[in-house]
Amino acid sequence: MRLHNVALIFAGGVGSRMGGDVPKQFLEWNGKAVIIHTLEVFERCGMIDEIVIACKEEWIDHTWELIHGAGLQKVVSIVPGGITALDSQYNGLCEIKKRHSEAVVLIHDGVRPLVDEGTIVRCIEGVLEYGSAITVTKAIETVIRVDEDGEITEILDRDLCRMAKAPQCFLLSEILGAHEKSIAEGNHTFIDSASMMRYYGARLHTVFGEQENIKVTTPSDYYMYLGISRAREEKNEE
């Protein structure tokens, strides 16, 4: 029997780096919140069966209102987020576990609305073939290593470097197991799912995504997102 493909969208941020009162995932473009633009990509993808969201608890009702207003059908649950992104992801994974003994889970930022369907499909195929799929793009600038004094100690070969993005995708049992180990050990230092899985010995397969798949975290990110979205809209009108 085919495994369910579940998108876990975490949107627990408060937007402190954006400098506003509204969390960044609720900023708007073309009359829709950023998170709705993100969700719509997964909604349209025929290979996605369900969507689970981890969101700041006080914004859950508002998120449901936006979802119903947009006519989205694949969102099955919204759970409260945690203190960190990984805490939010864990809450979402536990919710998925209530619904499925096993699944392909695509972990994605609510503030990455420019993800494309082709990347989503490659991620699912990557998990089914290799057990994991980490979305990456090529490094397009020089990557350096520095010491504690800020002096360059190594200039890395750009052709061998990648920028990790999202989705980051795994089998439910394996990513949930890594979270449980991390919690049991009190280890909360991981920057993302990939770093945690790598720490616990997983071999991580990469799939290429698009350079435009930016994370809207700062005002400059938001302006870049608006520019790309307007350009895409104008192209579609031609």
Q: Residue 65's pLDDT band (boundaries 50, 70, 90)?
A: very high
Number of Cβ within a 10 Å radius of residue 3: 17
Number of Cβ within a 10 Å radius of residue 159: 8
- Straight-line distance from the first to the last Cα atom of the chain, in angstroms, rounded to the nearest whole number: 44
Question: What's the farthest any 2 CA atoms get from each other in the chain?
Answer: 56
Looking at every residue in the chain, the average pLDDT score rounds to 92
Strand, helix or coil at 133?
strand
- What phi and psi, each to the nearest 5 degrees, are found at residue 204? -110, 125
Q: What is the pLDDT of residue 14?
A: 56
Q: Is the pLDDT of residue 16 over 60?
A: no
Query: Lowest-confidence range among 73-77, 169-173, 219-223?
Result: 219-223
Q: Residue 159's pLDDT band (boundaries 50, 70, 90)?
A: very high
Q: What average pLDDT score do residues 171-192 get?
A: 95
Q: Is the pLDDT of residue 13 over 90?
A: no
Q: What is the pLDDT of residue 202?
A: 96
In the chain, the domains with their CATH numbers are 4-137+164-237 (3.90.550.10)
Residues counted in the chain: 238
Q: What average pLDDT score do residues 41-68 get?
A: 96
The model's pTM is: 0.92
